[in-house]
Structure 1
Amino acid sequence: MANGTGRSIPHYYLYGDQGADVELDFLHVEPIRDRSGPNDWRIRPHSHPDHMQVLLVKSGGGSIRMEEQVLSIPAPGILVVPAGIVHQIDFNPGTDGFVVTAALGCLKAASASDARLAHASERPAVYPLEGTGVSIPAVMETFEWMHREFIWSAPGRRTAIMAQFMRVLVVVLRLNVSHDDPGIAAPDRDYDLLVRYRGLLEEHFRNERSLAFYAGDLAVTQARLNAACKARAGKTASDLLYERIVIEAKRYLVYTESSVAQVAHLTGFDDPAYFNRFFTQRVGLSPGAFRKQALHHDS
């Protein structure tokens, strides 16, 4: 299989829809067989610009290609696919396990108390569970519990899912520490630049709108930064900046009682009217209308 170019490899967003806004900063859990079985147990080459994945392979196996490396899938085993990594999976028929697809915002929230959790999740890896000292029954239970909470609508569902996701990240961290070489080649310079740019966005997106600032900090030209973002995320550097601002605004609108003017200030806008236009242009609803719709959906 040829790896292809960034132009020919699909960028899949949550549920494959770039415009989807369902649980934008949350995660999705499904059995491996749900998506792979109907597709002859093959996941064709693609990447997730805004989501990372952790897979538990309980039984079966197969092979996974991440970037230029092809590795056998151990069973039981854990696969870690960071955001932006091009990958293809060929499962053995009947392979059993779970796929957790987590938005980068969800990963950030879950790893807030320990930066090592996020760092371990940024390393593409294939880890066998046998002989690692990690409790295999506990790992199985964690994924099964997370899936059970995901498909139910019981009180405290979101909190329960996040608790299990944090347990998954701890497992990934411990496997990462115990494996010096997970067998995956280092990503290319485009990927490295995108990861560093996202890190800068987290620090400065509220107060810094100039691409010249970010490019300067990264010691590249704006054209080079844009090329890397397009190749690895399918978006321009400005798109990623504005998208991060919108995500933060949505969080304030949904999860706090701050007024629209206060949300404008919290996301770095001096003029609430300009924030209103900025948000409406990119979301298709005014901030107030978005809040009403989101609260109605959750009620």
Structure 2
Amino acid sequence: MAKASDPGIPRFYLYGDSGADVERDFLHVEAILTRSGPHGWRIQPHAHPDHAQIFLIHKGGGTVQFEDHSAEIPLPAVMVLPAGSVHQFAFQPGTDGYVVTAALGWLNAVTASDPSLREVLAQPAVLPLRDSGLHVPTVIDTFDWLLREFVWSAPGRRIAIMALYLRLLVILLRLRITTQTEDLPAAPDRDQNLLVRYRGLVEEHFRHQRAPGFYADQLAVTSARLNAACKARAGRTASDLVHDRLMLEAKRLLLYTDHGIARIGNMIGFDDPAYFSRFFAARAGCSPASWRKTQKA
């Protein structure tokens, strides 16, 4: 099976959907049949450079292939797919359950107080629930409620989602301790490791540092090496990823606050409002004011 650095491997936020989303720095939840059914129950090799996934399979079954390793999916089971891993599925028709896709930046933020919860998503795994000692209906109920909170626009939505997601991570932590199933083998991936570290630094400094050289120095690599890793694993240059993060933050502020355009530009490091507007328009195809008006129409 091809590696994620292969230029022929598609990279998606969600399988088959390459479009941008102002909430792609957050989390997405959907039923497996929603995406797998229309694709004939076969999901072709692909990767999610910036997102980790948790699956619950409680009906049907099939096989999952991660890089060069294939595994049967027992029922019921929870699966872990780390960011950047190339994977594919061959589901039995009618297979159902849930898939939860979380952005690495958001994942790092919600697990800041307990890094062990983040580490449960570091290696791919197929974890059977049967005879695990966990109460299976409770596990399924957690996924049920996470989907409900995701699709509702009720007060406290994000806090509820965060609480339920943390509960899933605790479930994974306990499953990894109680199950005898080994993790799927994960070959060392220096490009992905460098990309993850780079994104962590970008998250800290994107408002004030845009030059790839600054980040390369912090990571003790050359700018060329950093750029090569970003292209191999994210399909974008190092500069593109900083600009993408600036655009995402600008869109969030335009959509979720009433701040003026000049203030928003200043909040993300643009001292010149005109330059901020040109930067935004070159990437969004319209001015910040026009984008805000269209989104809120």
Output the TM-score relative to the length of structure 1: 0.86
The match for 1:48 is: 48
| Structure 1 residue 45, shift from structure 2 partner | 0.3
CA positional deviation for 1:64: 1.5
- Give the gaps of 5 or more residues in structure 1: none
Residues 15-71 of structure 1: CA distance to partner in whole angstroms, max 9, x if unpaired? 633333263333332222232234332211001123322110113332212223322
SS at match of 1:279: helix
| Equivalent residue number for residue 98 of structure 1 | 98
Give the match for residue 215 of structure 1: 216
One-letter code aligned to 2:120: A
Local SS of the residue matching 2:83:
coil
CA contact (8 A) 1:32 1:99 kept: yes
CA RMSD of superposed structures (Å): 2.7
User: 2:251 matched to 1:250?
Assistant: yes
Aligned-partner Cα distance in 2 for 1:50–1:19: 14
Instruction: Indicate if the aligned counterparts of 1:69 and 1:185 stay in contact, CA closer than 8 A.
Output: no
- Pair 119,57 (structure 1): closer, same or farther in 2 beyond 3 Å: same
Shift of 1:107: 2.9
Distance 1:144 1:135 in 2: 15
1:121–1:173 CA contact under 8 A, matched in 2? no
Distance 1:22 1:183, change over 3 A: same
TM-fit CA distance, 1:112: 4.9
User: In the superposition, relative to structure 1, how do residues 20 and 208 fare at CA in structure 2: closer, same or farther (>3 Å)?
Assistant: closer
Residue aligning to 1:60: 60
Cα 1:289–1:109, aligned 2, differ >3 Å: closer, same or farther? farther
Match of 2:207 in 1: 206
Tell whether the 8 Å contact from 1:110 to 1:165 is kept in structure 2 after alignment.
Answer: no
Closer/same/farther in 2, CA of residues 281 and 113 from structure 1, 3 Å limit: farther
Task: Report the counterpart of residue 288 of structure 1 in structure 2.
Answer: 289
Deviation at 1:109, TM superposition (A): 4.9
Q: C-alpha offsets along residues 66-122 of structure 1, whole Å, 9 cap, x if unaligned?
A: 223322323221112222211111223332211122334543454355444333333
Q: Report the AA paired with residue 270 of structure 2.
A: F
1:127 match: 127
Quick one: percent identity of the two aligned structures?
A: 57
Q: TM-score, normalised by structure 2?
A: 0.87
Q: Judging changes above 3 Å, is the alpha-carbon distance between structure 1 residues 38 and 187 closer, same or farther for their aligned structure 2 residues?
A: farther
**Which one-letter code corresponds to 2:285 in the other structure?**
G
CA drift at 1:194: 1.0
Measured in 2, the distance between the counterparts of 1:60 and 1:137 equals: 17
Aligned to 1:262: 263
Q: Which moved more, 1:168-177 or 1:42-51?
A: 168-177
Look up the match of 2:194.
193
Inter-partner Cα distance in structure 1 for 2:117 and 2:229: 25
Code of the aligned partner of 2:206? F
Name the CA distance, whole Å, in 2 between partners of 1:45 and 1:30.
Answer: 19
